[in-house]
Amino acid sequence: MVSQIQPPTQPEVIYPDSDGQPVANNTIQFGWIVEIKQNLDWLFADDPNVFVAGDLFWYPVEGRNKIVNAPDVMVVLGRPKGDRLCYQQWKEEGIAPQVVFEILSPSNTQTAMDKKLLFCDRYGVEEYYIYDPDRNNLSGWLRNEDGLDVIPQMEDWVSPRLKIRFVLSPETLQLYRPDGERFLTYTEISRNAEQERQRAELAEQARRDAIPRLLQMSLSIEQIAQALALSVEEVRRRSPS
């Protein structure tokens, strides 16, 4: 009897989700990464099939864990929102990030940035943007039939995919949503969130205060519930005993 020799088991390929390096090298770079990522999250909040990530490892080739990049911000249209330890492209219907943003810091070398551009060119990125906040310099590349090509004029450039507009003043870069509203800074995001919380609390307090006055006007519990957009049970619970 001849026994068949089983082929050796292939070792499992591990795709690390961290290299132990910080997300950003300084507060300026971190602020820009957060601003772009958060504003893009808001821009596409109602579209379940737009995935936005910051500093997430992207593996474009199955079985090749040395081929990896971690864009400061990347946008993938056509893939669902949700948490991921890393972006394994073969598990995402083969869809590469269409738009990538990089924010320069003093530690970024020209060689490292050239490698990032080559990576994005090789693996299918359609729009690639680099902003240097120290020099207030903005560069962009757009894919054509031959690969990523330099965008010659970035002033008032509108992203074909995202429809956001880039405005470079002598002081800084400003990004604008398709509706004309500008991207908010990290500080403004925090301040607006606090103001929204306070407005919600004031609105809730106003509704609670209105119940006794409406009862004094001889309105029924049901009428008050309808007027204040509350359930009958909520009105009864909040009514003075």
Q: Mean pLDDT over residues 136-142, rounded? A: 97
CA distances 56 to 19, 60, 63, Å, are: 11, 12, 18
pLDDT tens-place string over residues 47-68: 999 999 999 999 999 999 999 9
Beta strands in 80-233 (DSSP E): 87-88, 99-103, 127-132, 137-144, 147-150, 157-158, 165-168, 173-176
Task: State the residue for tokens 């729009």.
Answer: 127
pLDDT at position 6 is 59
CA distances 112 to 116, 121, 199, 238, Å, are: 6, 14, 46, 62
Question: Residue 225 pLDDT > 90, yes or no?
Answer: no
pLDDT at position 222 is 86
Q: What percentage of the chain has pLDDT greater than the value 90?
A: 61
Give the SS3 label for residue 174: strand
Residue 54 makes CB contacts below 8 A (sequence gap 6+) with 23, 33, 34, 37, 72, 73, 74
Question: Residue 124 pLDDT > 80, yes or no?
Answer: yes
DSSP element (H, E) containing 51? strand 50-54
Q: Mean pLDDT over residues 226-237, rounded? A: 81
Confidence of residue 234 (pLDDT cuts 50, 70, 90): confident
pLDDT at position 37 is 96
pLDDT tens-place string over residues 146-197: 999 999 999 999 999 999 999 999 999 999 999 999 999 877 877 777 777 7
pLDDT at position 3 is 56
- How many Cβ atoms are within 10 Å of 223's Cβ, its own excluded? 13
pLDDT tens-place string over residues 81-93: 999 999 999 999 9
Give the SS3 label for residue 74: strand
Identity of the amino acid at 103: I
Question: Residue 2 pLDDT > 60, yes or no?
Answer: no
Q: Which of 187, 152, 186, 182 is nearest to 167 (CA)?
A: 182
pLDDT tens-place string over residues 23-40: 667 888 999 999 999 999
